[in-house]
Amino acid sequence: ETGVTQTPRHLVMGMTNKKSLKCEQHLGHNAMYWYKQSAKKPLELMFVYSLEERVENNSVPSRFSPECPNSSHLFLHLHTLQPEDSALYLCASSQGGGAGNTIYFGEGSWLTVV
Partner 1 sequence: GEDVEQSLFLSVREGDSSVINCTYTDSSSTYLYWYKQEPGAGLQLLTYIFSNMDMKQDQRLTVLLNKKDKHLSLRIADTQTGDSAIYFCAESSRIDAGNMLTFGGGTRLMVKP
* Minimum distance from residue 95 beta carbon to partner 1 (Å): 8
* Minimum distance from residue 55 beta carbon to partner 1 (Å): 5
Complex with partner 1: residue 15 or 51, whichever CB lies closer:
51
Complex with partner 1: residue 90 or 113, whichever CB lies closer:
90
Burial class (CB in 10 A: 0-12, 13-18, 19+), 50: middle
Whether 89 contacts 35, CB under 8 Å: yes
Candidates 99, 111, 106; CA nearest to 72 is 106
The C-alpha atoms of residue 53 and residue 55 are separated, in whole angstroms, by 6
Inter-CA distances, 108 with 5, 11, 16, 21, 64, Å: 8, 11, 23, 10, 16
- Contact residues toward partner 1 (CB under 8 A) are 2, 6, 30-31, 33, 42-43, 45, 48-51, 55-56, 90, 92, 94, 96-97, 100-108
* Minimum distance from residue 11 beta carbon to partner 1 (Å): 15
The C-alpha atoms of residue 39 and residue 36 are separated, in whole angstroms, by 10
* Minimum distance from residue 88 beta carbon to partner 1 (Å): 8
Complex with partner 1: residue 31 or 111, whichever CB lies closer:
31
Complex with partner 1: residue 6 or 78, whichever CB lies closer:
6
